Amino acid sequence: MFEREVTPEQRERQKLLENRAWLDKNFERIQKEYANQWIVILDGRVVSHDSEVEVAKRSAEGREGEAVLMRIPAGAIPTPM
Amino acid sequence: MAKFPFRSMRDWIDFLKEQGQLIENKEEVDLRGEVAAISRKIALNSGPAVLHTAVKGYPGWRIFSDGLTTRQRAAWALGVSSEGIVTNLANRMTRLEKQKPVLVKDGPCKELRFFGDQVDLIKLPIAFTGEYDIPPFITAGISNIRDPETGWQNTGIRRFQLKGKSHLNNLVLPFQHEGIIYGKYIKKSQSAPIAIVIGADPLYNLISLMPAPDQVDEMDTWGAFAGTPLEVVKCETSDLLVPATAEIVIEGEMDPKERALEGPFSEFTGFYSGLRMLPVIHVKCVTMRRDCIYQNMYMAVPTSEAHNMGHLMNEVELLRQIKEFVPEVKDVAILSSWGMMTAISVDKKAKARKPGLVNKIAVTVKTVKASPFVKNVIVVDDDVDAHNVHEILWCMSVKFQGQKDILVIPDFPGTIFDPSEPYLGKGPGVTSYTVFDCTEKPPPYDEAYKRGVAQPKENYRKLVEEKWGLYGF
């Protein structure tokens, strides 16, 4: 199963993971700037932000499969263990 | 013809097909929301299980889900009748003779083996659940980890967020068995080997959800239920044991220190969980069947396959554990959200003789190990079906007075998952524990109840049950 050719959907998923990895790496800075807002990340950067998710996600139209859409919380992120 | 005990997910799929409880969907499905939306509709309608045979972007893959979305299917998987299933299982649990698993040399789960750079989790058809679970989660993954001090292997279903070709986040919490065991590796500064099973037989799925006591190996309990030992194989990269007939086994290690941002996730509460810094699994090996079937389990706003499975196994343990202290308790029904709304029925005659029994139940519930998610409890008499929401609401309507029948214990340990907890201003993990006494009121306030429940005579009710098919309905 792993040997098969990469499909467009799998390529899209790879890009999604890259965008999420970028968010994870830059989270502290992103949280300072965008706390309590919805953001969209594409191509390794924040392409839109808004307090309303329906507004923020317009910039992801057509590229939903690779976009990270997230509400950025304020405050410390818990580390349970 | 497949029958209990089902030795593999394939046996189970064949059985469901024979029972007319499986749809083989040939229409292509999209992982980005269609698979989840189908499971949502199945859960809302108590529909059949489904085997998707065409997955967009994932040629050759099939996805199985909703095998355990109804109580009847769970009963088949456990080899019991669905009638009185909770009380029957709770009784059975006290008499189980555990059987250790049997190690076999090889199994279908090892038909294909991928190591190191060959591993690519992006090629697994992991379906999105909610719109904001980005990236998606493995939701039917059953985690196995071994206690480095005692050798106890713990098995439990959890969620794993896809983070890369060979990386997953793991929701490990300190109060769970996996968390307790992982804590020992942290103390030793050692990586913890872990094995995630996807696509096991349905009994393995259900046992993995049971809140078992410490040091109890869930695979032994599998053998006890099945009456025969589970056949297991050793992992490639550790000494963990996994079912030989599983569809996929993901083997990896959790570093004692590494944490990564996890979430959000479509939680059982019906809202997304917040972000957390959680352990990371570095995947070293994946083994699978040659034509393997991916198992997906939908969980989001109730109801879902996950809720049905989790509620049943928690009900069994809650009933068993509560009855040790209050034998007058007759049944436990989780009505919503993993126990956050629970109904308990009590022996009506015993209650009449023992004033304060409802309060005793109220206090006992929160002392037993299976109760961490129990938050609101409705107590009813045992002439009411605790699993029937109409009957529960009826009791609340006509056997309850708010100014006398509510017990609230404030600032009680809660679950960090409850989105309403911050409202108390005490931080996550603190809740109100509330008990609603919806039992019949005692003399002299019981005159209306003594006039009897208004319904047709019992023999006619039974007759209609027997003849229902003849009426043309």
Note whether B268 and B341 are same-domain residues. Answer: no
- 8 Å CB contact of A10 and B112: no
Rounded Cα gap, residues B184 and B173, in angstroms? 13
Calculate mean pLDDT across residues B51-78.
Answer: 97
Would residue A56 count as lying in a domain? yes
What confidence score (pLDDT) does residue B211 get?
78
In which domain, by residue range, is A18 found? 8-71
CATH number of the domain at B388, please. Answer: 3.40.1670.10
Note whether B152 and B273 are same-domain residues. Answer: yes
- Please give the tally of structural domains in chain B: 2
User: Distance, in angstroms, between A50 CA and closest chain B CA?
Assistant: 15
**B57's torsion region: left (phi>0), alpha (psi -120 to 50) or beta?**
left
DSSP annotation string for A14-71: HHHHHHHHHHHHTHHHHHHHHTTSEEEEETTEEEEEESSHHHHGGGGTT-TTT-EEEE
User: Distance, in angstroms, between A3 CA and closest chain B CA?
Assistant: 8
Would residue B375 count as lying in a domain? yes
Note whether B271 and B331 are same-domain residues. Answer: no
- Cβ neighbours of A81 in B, within 8 Å: 172-174, 179, 182-183, 186, 278-279
Q: Please state which of the ranges A2-6, B63-67, B96-100, B356-360 shows the lowest mean pLDDT.
A: A2-6
- Judged by a CB distance cut-off of 8 A, whether residue B174 touches chain A is yes
What confidence score (pLDDT) does residue B428 get?
78
Would residue B158 count as lying in a domain? yes
- Cβ neighbours of A14 in B, within 8 Å: 122
Mean pLDDT of chain B: 95
CATH number of the domain at B120, please. Answer: 2.30.110.10
> What is the dihedral angle through the alpha carbons of B171, B176, B179, B183, rounded to the nearest 10 degrees?
160
Note whether B249 and B330 are same-domain residues. Answer: no
Rounded Cα gap, residues B257 and B237, in angstroms? 21
pTM (predicted TM-score): 0.94
Would residue B290 count as lying in a domain? yes
Minimum CA–CA partner of A7 in chain B: B57
What confidence score (pLDDT) does residue B118 get?
94
Would residue B431 count as lying in a domain? yes
- 8 Å CB contact of A27 and B164: no
Percent of chain A with pLDDT over 70: 96
Note whether B359 and B448 are same-domain residues. Answer: yes
Would residue A76 count as lying in a domain? no
Percent of chain B with pLDDT over 90: 92
End-to-end alpha-carbon separation of chain B, Å?
A: 30
pLDDT at residue B127 greater than cutoff 80? yes
pLDDT band at residue B461, thresholds of 50, 70 and 90? very high
| CB nearest B60 (choices: A4, A16, A78) | A4
In which domain, by residue range, is B277 found? 9-295
- Please give the tally of structural domains in chain A: 1
Would residue A14 count as lying in a domain? yes
- 8 Å CB contact of B276 and A78: yes
- 8 Å CB contact of A80 and B276: yes
Dump pLDDT digits (tens) for B371-402: 999 999 999 999 999 999 999 999 999 999 99
**B429's torsion region: left (phi>0), alpha (psi -120 to 50) or beta?**
left
**Residue of B28, B61, B62, B122 to mutate, testing the A interface (most A Cβ within 10 Å of its Cβ):** B122
Q: How many contacts does A have with B, using Cβ atoms within 8 A? A: 93
Note whether B112 and B14 are same-domain residues. Answer: yes
Dump pLDDT digits (tens) for A25-47: 999 999 999 999 999 999 999 99
Note whether B86 and B201 are same-domain residues. Answer: yes
Dump pLDDT digits (tens) for B296-319: 999 999 999 999 999 999 999 999
pLDDT at residue B93 greater than cutoff 90? no
Note whether B65 and B208 are same-domain residues. Answer: yes
pLDDT at residue B53 greater than cutoff 70? yes
- 8 Å CB contact of A1 and B61: yes
Calculate mean pLDDT across residues B439-451.
Answer: 95
- Cβ neighbours of A70 in B, within 8 Å: 132, 134, 264
| CB nearest A73 (choices: B163, B274, B288) | B274
Calculate mean pLDDT across residues A7-24.
Answer: 97
pLDDT band at residue B424, thresholds of 50, 70 and 90? very high
What confidence score (pLDDT) does residue A2 get?
67
User: Distance, in angstroms, between B340 CA and closest chain A CA?
Assistant: 21
What confidence score (pLDDT) does residue B58 get?
96
- 8 Å CB contact of A80 and B259: no
**A6's tokens:** 């990469």
CA neighbor of B140 nearest in space, from B305, B295, B338, B304? B295
- Cβ neighbours of A67 in B, within 8 Å: 134
- 8 Å CB contact of B172 and A10: no
A56 CB-near residues (< 8 Å, 6+ apart): A37, A38, A39, A40, A48, A49, A50, A69
Would residue A80 count as lying in a domain? no
What confidence score (pLDDT) does residue B416 get?
83
What confidence score (pLDDT) does residue B92 get?
87
Minimum CA–CA partner of A21 in chain B: B163
Note whether B237 and B334 are same-domain residues. Answer: no
Calculate mean pLDDT across residues B248-273.
Answer: 96
Would residue A60 count as lying in a domain? yes
Calculate mean pLDDT across residues B109-115.
Answer: 97
Dump pLDDT digits (tens) for B178-211: 999 999 999 999 999 999 999 999 999 999 998 7
What confidence score (pLDDT) does residue A5 get?
87
| CB nearest A73 (choices: B275, B279, B288) | B275
Would residue A81 count as lying in a domain? no
pLDDT at residue B455 greater than cutoff 70? yes
What confidence score (pLDDT) does residue B379 get?
98
| CB nearest A80 (choices: B174, B261, B286) | B174
- 8 Å CB contact of B58 and A7: yes
Percent of chain B with pLDDT over 70: 100
Handedness of CA B151, B138, B375, B45 (dihedral sign): negative
Would residue A64 count as lying in a domain? yes
Note whether B73 and B29 are same-domain residues. Answer: yes
pLDDT band at residue B116, thresholds of 50, 70 and 90? very high
Would residue B309 count as lying in a domain? no
What confidence score (pLDDT) does residue B385 get?
96
Sheet hosting strand B293-295, strand order edge to edge: B22-25, B49-52, B62-65, B293-295
| CB nearest A20 (choices: B119, B134, B259) | B134
Note whether B286 and B351 are same-domain residues. Answer: no
Report whether B281 contacts B254 (CB < 8 A).
Answer: yes
- Judged by a CB distance cut-off of 8 A, whether residue B264 touches chain A is yes
ipTM over 0.90: yes
- 8 Å CB contact of B182 and A70: no
B124 CB-near residues (< 8 Å, 6+ apart): B138, B248, B294
pLDDT band at residue A1, thresholds of 50, 70 and 90? low
Note whether B291 and B333 are same-domain residues. Answer: no
Distances in whole angstroms, Cα of residue B264 to Cα of each of B153, B157, B249: 29, 18, 25
Would residue A48 count as lying in a domain? yes
- Cβ neighbours of B185 in A, within 8 Å: none
User: In chain B, what is the greatest distance between 2 CA atoms, to the nearest angstrom?
Assistant: 76
